[in-house]
Structure formats: structure tokens, C-alpha cells
């Protein structure tokens, strides 16, 4: 069988839904899934490491990356810039690996334009009350940034319609099971396996 490209998976959802937590658990159980590390202008939170959670850059450096075309997509989210380094994604896909992007909705819609064959997954918390508890429980936001994130969630939920799948993050391992099932299903889709006909 001829080698084929990997599949691009995009995970978005409101801040505090548990995207970071789920992605970490998912890549532990699926080490073959390549998680893209984004570039951001925001300051590191306690415990966040350069090159692991993000590449932390100044506004000037970020703008340089935009101008040189080094970002696959980028967006301004909660007063900071976030973007996906292009080269990592393109090289991994070409080499046949699946790639996972954990990015905001604006970025996901840009990726959808360029990669309509990508798989777009929306992660939501079980309820608004649980979302509030998770953002506050993380203990990383000021009152103002908590309000910004919590208020944005209602509008963001409406964007679920633009995605292919929705996963409720009630229990982390259960959410990972569902995403893993989506990955398996996408690998079995007829459209992605037409090569089988000619191979036969
Ligand atoms: P996001 O990346 O979507 O902003 P995080 O992964 O930072 O969200 O999760 C927000 C908070 O909620 C963290 O404190 C995390 O430990 C917690 N959390 C994530 N998923 C769950 C879950 N299924 N049940 C309970 N708490 C969770
Ligand atoms: P946080 O500051 O909580 O880590 O992330 C804030 C938001 O930025 C989240 O919705 C997260 O998904 C999004 N984000 C992280 N990396 C990227 C990226 O590379 N591009 C875009 N468009 N959004 C990102």
C-alpha cells in the first residue's frame, strides 16, 4: 500500500472546558498523535515550560513570524496573540503522522479554509456551573480575565455548529475515549481509503 498523509485533528472549545487537560491525557495514551506546540505572546503560567506548553515570544517576534509566513493560522485571543507554527504540522502530516491542534475557534476556522479535509472537534464542559468551577479552580485568572473567559463561552458555544464532532468533557478519561473513537472512525472513512481500491 502506498504511504499516505496523516490526518489533521483540531480541538477547540471554551476556555476552561479542559482542552489542555484532555490533550495531555490523549497524547499520553496515543503517543503517535503529534501535538502541535503553539506560539503565544502571553506570559507563562506557573509550571508552564518553553517549547512544551507554548513557545513564549514577544509581540515583535510574533509579528515577524506572521510576516515571514511561518504561521499556519493565528488569532488574537483575550488580548494576546496565539499561532500555530506551519512547518511542524506540514512535515508531520507529510510523514504520515496524525497532528492535533488545540486552538481557539477563530484559528480553527482559518484552518478549515486551508484543510477542509481536517477533522474539527468541539470540547464542551458538562454545564455552565462546571465551567465556572473549572476556570476558578485552575486559579490562573484575574477577576477580569475570568469574566472575559466565562462571558465569551456563551457566544463560543454557538460555533459548535461549524465542527464535525462534539465531545462533552465530563470525565477526562471518558472524553479521551470518545476522541480516540473519532480518530479510529476517521481512519476508516471511505473517502480516506479510496486508495485501497486501486491497490487491489
Ligand atoms: P482549557 O485548556 O480548556 O482552558 P484546562 O485543561 O486548563 O482547560 O482545564 C481547566 C481546569 O479544569 C483545570 O483546573 C483542570 O484540571 C480542570 N479539568 C479539566 N477537565 C476536567 C474534568 N473532566 N473534570 C474535572 N476537572 C477538569
Ligand atoms: P490559554 O491562554 O488558556 O492557554 O489559551 C487561550 C486560548 O487560546 C484557548 O482557547 C486556546 O485554545 C487558544 N490557543 C492556543 N494556542 C493557539 C493557537 O496556536 N492558535 C489559536 N488560534 N488559538 C490558540
- What is the CA(169)–ligand 1 centre distance, in A? 9
pLDDT band of 72, cuts 50, 70, 90: very high
Nearest to 96 by CA among 179, 182, 7: 7
Average pLDDT of the residues in 33-47: 95
Percent of the chain at pLDDT exceeding 90: 86
Q: How far apart are CA 23 and CA 19, in angstroms?
A: 6
Nearest CA to ligand 1 atom 18: 18
Average pLDDT of the residues in 98-107: 97
pLDDT band of 32, cuts 50, 70, 90: very high
Beta strands in 45-160 (DSSP E): 54-56, 71-77, 80-85, 99-102, 119-124
Nearest to 100 by CA among 152, 23, 191: 23
Lowest-confidence segment of 112-126, 142-156, 173-187 by average pLDDT: 142-156
Cβ of 171 less than 6 Å from ligand 1: yes
Cβ of 196 less than 6 Å from ligand 1: no
Predicted local confidence at residue 17, as pLDDT? 94
Helix (H) or strand (E) segment spanning residue 172: helix 172-187
Q: Cβ(109)–Cβ(74) under 8 Å?
A: no
Predicted local confidence at residue 1, as pLDDT? 44
pLDDT band of 3, cuts 50, 70, 90: low
- What is the CA(134)–ligand 1 centre distance, in A? 6
Lowest-confidence segment of 50-54, 55-59, 76-80, 102-106 by average pLDDT: 76-80
Cβ of 126 less than 6 Å from ligand 1: no
Predicted local confidence at residue 145, as pLDDT? 86
**Does the pLDDT of residue 2 top 50, yes or no?**
no
Percent of the chain at pLDDT exceeding 70: 98
CATH number of 8-36+97-199: 3.40.50.300
Residue bearing the bigger pLDDT, 146 or 173: 173
CA-CA distances (angstroms) from residue 168 to 25, 108, 173, 176, 186?
15, 18, 11, 10, 19
Average pLDDT of the residues in 98-118: 96
- From the CA of 176, which ligand is nearest? 1
- What is the CA(61)–ligand 1 centre distance, in A? 30
Predicted local confidence at residue 102, as pLDDT? 97
Cβ of 38 less than 6 Å from ligand 1: no
- From the CA of 138, which ligand is nearest? 1
Ligand 1 atom nearest to CA at 171: 23
Q: How far apart are CA 31 and CA 33, in angstroms?
A: 5
Nearest CA to ligand 1 atom 11: 134
Give the max Cα distance, the chain: 61
> Which residues lie with the beta carbon below 6 Å from any ligand 2 atom?
15, 19, 38, 42, 73, 75, 77, 82-84, 102-104, 106-107
Q: How far apart are CA 195 and CA 199, in angstroms?
A: 6
Nearest CA to ligand 2 atom 9: 104
- What is the CA(149)–ligand 2 centre distance, in A? 12
**Does the pLDDT of residue 120 top 90, yes or no?**
yes
Q: Cβ(43)–Cβ(145) under 8 Å?
A: no
Amino acid at each position: 500500500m502506498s504511504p499516505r498523509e496523516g490526518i489533521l485533528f483540531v480541538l477547540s472549545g471554551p476556555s476552561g472546558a479542559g482542552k489542555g487537560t484532555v490533550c495531555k491525557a490523549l497524547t499520553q495514551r496515543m503517543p503517535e498523535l503529534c501535538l502541535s506546540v503553539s506560539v503565544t505572546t502571553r506570559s507563562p503560567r506557573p509550571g508552564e515550560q518553553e517549547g512544551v506548553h507554548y513557545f513564549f515570544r514577544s509581540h515583535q517576534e510574533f509579528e515577524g513570524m506572521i510576516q515571514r509566513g511561518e504561521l499556519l493560522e493565528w488569532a488574537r485571543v483575550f488580548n494576546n496573540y496565539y499561532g500555530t507554527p506551519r512547518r511542524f504540522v506540514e512535515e508531520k502530516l507529510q510523514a504520515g503522522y496524525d497532528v492535533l491542534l488545540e486552538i481557539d475557534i477563530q484559528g480553527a476556522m482559518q484552518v478549515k479554509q486551508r484543510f477542509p479535509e481536517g477533522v474539527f472537534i468541539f470540547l464542551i464542559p458538562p454545564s455552565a456551573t462546571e465551567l465556572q468551577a473549572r476556570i476558578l479552580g485552575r486559579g490562573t485568572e484575574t477577576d477580569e480575565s475570568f469574566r472575559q473567559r466565562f462571558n465569551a463561552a456563551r457566544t463560543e458555544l454557538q460555533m459548535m455548529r461549524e465542527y464535525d464532532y462534539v465531545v462533552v468533557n465530563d470525565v477526562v478519561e471518558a472524553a479521551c475515549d470518545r476522541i480516540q473513537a473519532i480518530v479510529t472512525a476517521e481512519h476508516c472513512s471511505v473517502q480516506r481509503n479510496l486508495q485501497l481500491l486501486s491497490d487491489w
